[in-house]
Amino acid sequence: MGATGYYIHSDCKLHNMGAGHPECPERIDAIEDRLLITGVADALDRRTPGEANLAEIKLAHRRLHIAAIRGMSDWLEEDDVAAGSSQHFSLDTDTSMNSKTYRAALLAAGAAVEATDAVLAGELENAFCCVRPPGHHACGNRAMGFCFFNNVAIAAKYAVARHGLERVAIIDFDVHHGNGTEDIVAGDERILMLSYFQHPFYPEDWPLRHDDNLVNVPVPAYTKGMDIRELVDAMWIPRLDEFKPQLIFISAGFDAHREDDMGQLGLVEADYQWMTQRIKDVAKRHCEGRIVSCLEGGYNLSSLARSVEAHLRVLADV
């Protein structure tokens, strides 16, 4: 049985968007504590990623967007020295950065890229990237929704551009629409993106695209786990079996949990466990079990940690 990689870097916790922000460094601590207490950590191949390089980031993002994030990070670093404390810059009402954000974002993307390399090389059967900032709202030329670089989209583009894969799937089960991923991969027939998300919800007024390589499943608030399971079986699994992916990426957001106030869906840990197993079954049928999963949302620390544990128990067969 192949190993499950677990990619994490302590510098991802240095990115901070200010006191009281839900996308906080404590999210990583909560996951780490839960995996340690339950013993799941012992079953994982723990790895420390390096930074993604500029060429890899450019597979999904415009040069000016990358330069803006880097330039702002440099400016904030100078401002930190002058002020004697960490400064923040708001990109929009939800998203701000400090001087450590650029490196954290490079490490998050680097984890996804390195996990892709390791899984395709057969070193690992699958992998989970316990990283922040998250990525699925980051568009080709815009940071938004707590996201700066789109980790999964970068890795998917990397898989087709550098490894020559012809069919890659992205599955997004965050409570929010992965509009940034959609912006980057829409129309690319090598990449099939499947998602469900609460609708209408963030991002407000974002038009849903209907390209052939997108399977958008908007659901109303208060949708429960059993309804989601029916949608997965009816709309995701047949399309995945038809597509026959050579590698599956997961944008693993756990904010659809019923305890998470960020959304109004009603999933529990058992639903994430079931969904992960269904995805794993598809991966076993078509791509030797190859899965790269990256953390997205999940803001109630307790339900986040328990849901990641459930997700990893399936990936690692523990």
- C-alpha–C-alpha distance, residues 170 and 193, integer Å: 5
- pLDDT, position 205: 81
Tally of domains in the chain:
1
User: Could you give the 3-state DSSP secondary structure of residue 219?
Assistant: strand
CATH for 150: 3.40.800.20
Each residue of 80-119: pLDDT tens digit?
Answer: 777 777 889 999 999 999 999 999 999 999 999 999 999 9
Segments in the chain below pLDDT 50 = none
Residue 106 is predicted with a pLDDT of 98
pTM for the whole structure: 0.97
Task: For residues 280 and 285, give the distance between their C-alpha atoms in angstroms, rounded to a whole number.
Answer: 9
What SS3 string covers 114-160? Answer: HHHHHHHCCCCCEEEECCCCCCCCCECCECECCECCCHHHHHHHHHH
- pLDDT on residue 302: 98
Helix 151-161 crosses helix 101-120 at what angle (to 10 degrees)?
A: 40
To which residue do tokens 């949608």 refer? 231
Q: Choosing from 15, 61, 65, 137, which is the catalytic residue?
A: 137
- Is 311 among the residues known to form the active site? no
Q: What is the spatial distance between Cα 239 and Cα 233, in angstroms, rounded to a whole number?
A: 10
Q: Which domain holds residue 163?
A: 4-316
